[in-house]
Amino acid sequence: MDVEQAGAVLAAEAARFASFGWMRGTAGNLSVVTGRDPLRLAVTASGLDKGELTPSDVVVVDGDGAAVDGGRPSAEAALHARVVRLTGAGAVVHVHTVAAVAMGRRHPEGIVFKDLEMLKGLGQPAHDQEVTLPVVANSQDMRVLGDRLAAARDPRMPAVLVAGHGLYVWGPDPRRARHHTEVVEWLLELELASGSAFRGAS
């Protein structure tokens, strides 16, 4: 995928997530791998409304998240690159959702899902197996945050929740990364709603 194609794909994906309210204002960022040797990613540019991106609103970064040809990538580009190196992903999504932040506060030890058909959307069996979404403490240092993500991630769950911040989700390509994001967010919204219902009934 060349940079122009990558920009068009990321603009379309960002518009979709923004329409859900998951990338409010300039929050959130997306990336897609454009080359493996050496590693290159197209990352959404910093400070732009994610619902109004154009195909040119991307910055190419290297395997450490540093801009290759100028431009100002997201401050979290280094974490996108780290996720790609760790997982072999082809695309990474970072969204700020209410459910993610709320559930991260309630379950700083991680969020367990089981007996739900939607787990099939993550390639996991719907029954007889627990899958945990790891929760890690936030940091403004992407190396520190990357280390925490690397230590906590579960290969069965293509996502990590950063406490007080949002979700990082990945997949082999932008479409699959989007699907994983939508599934994980659905699971979080269900758990959030279920917890609220139980508290209301007590």
Amino acid letter, 130: E
DSSP letter at 73 equals B
| Residue 66 pLDDT > 80 | yes
pTM of the model: 0.93
Q: How many residues does the chain have?
A: 202
167 forms beta bridges with 95, 161
- What pLDDT score was predicted for residue 201? 40
Collapsing DSSP states into helix, strand and coil, what is residue 16? helix
Q: Give the span between the Cα atoms of 111 and 107, in whole angstroms.
A: 6
Residue 200: pLDDT band with limits 50, 70, 90: very low
CATH of domain 3-201: 3.40.225.10
Domain ranges of the chain: 3-201
Helix (H, G, I), strand (E, B) or coil at 32: strand
Please determine, for residue 33, whether its predicted confidence score (pLDDT) is greater than 60. yes
Three-state DSSP class for 56?
coil
pLDDT value at residue 199: 39
Residue 197: pLDDT band (50, 70, 90) is very low
Mean pLDDT of the chain: 92
User: What would the pLDDT profile of 156-167 be if each residue is shown by its tens digit?
Assistant: 999 999 999 999
pLDDT of residue 119: 95
Nearest to 91 by CA among 35, 150, 169, 153: 169
* pLDDT tens profile 84-114: 999 999 999 999 999 999 999 999 999 999 9
Average confidence (pLDDT) over 53-75: 91
> Is residue 43 within 8 Å of residue 80, measured between CB atoms?
yes
